[in-house]
Amino acid sequence: MPGGCEVTAFTSSESKKSAALAMGAHHTINSRDEAEITAAAGSFDIILSTVNVKLDWNLYLQALKPKGRLHFLGATLEPLDIGVFGLIMGQKSISGTAVGSPSTIE
């Protein structure tokens, strides 16, 4: 998409789906629907995770294009269960950034 990014929001809530589309997301994927996420395999350059719950991160890694990045902005209290083979074969990466309060961000 020239001049910008095409945004897909992952959400499990119908109200958040509507909110994401209203804020400019082009598409949404139900984060509780494995088939919907699997159908998006190889689609994304980057996935920004803002959740603080455990998810099937390997499923999300499959949704990345080769050389894609899974970037964490939210922190889960449980360790990530990641298969390394998918990272190596797809030259994918995982990263994170500490995000603070709105005043810190400003």
Residue extents of the structural domains in the chain: 1-32, 43-105
User: Environment class of residue 64 by beta-carbon count within 10 Å: exposed (0-12), middle (13-18) or buried (19+)?
Assistant: buried
Question: What topology does CATH give the domain 43-105?
Answer: Rossmann fold (3.40.50)
Residue 53 has a pLDDT of 87
Residues with Cβ within 8 Å of 52's Cβ and at least 6 positions away in sequence, in order, are 74, 75, 76, 77
pLDDT tens readout for residues 55-67: 999 999 999 999 9
Kindly tell me if the per-residue pLDDT of 103 is higher than 70: no
Residue 102 pLDDT class (50, 70, 90 cuts): low
Residue 77 has a pLDDT of 83
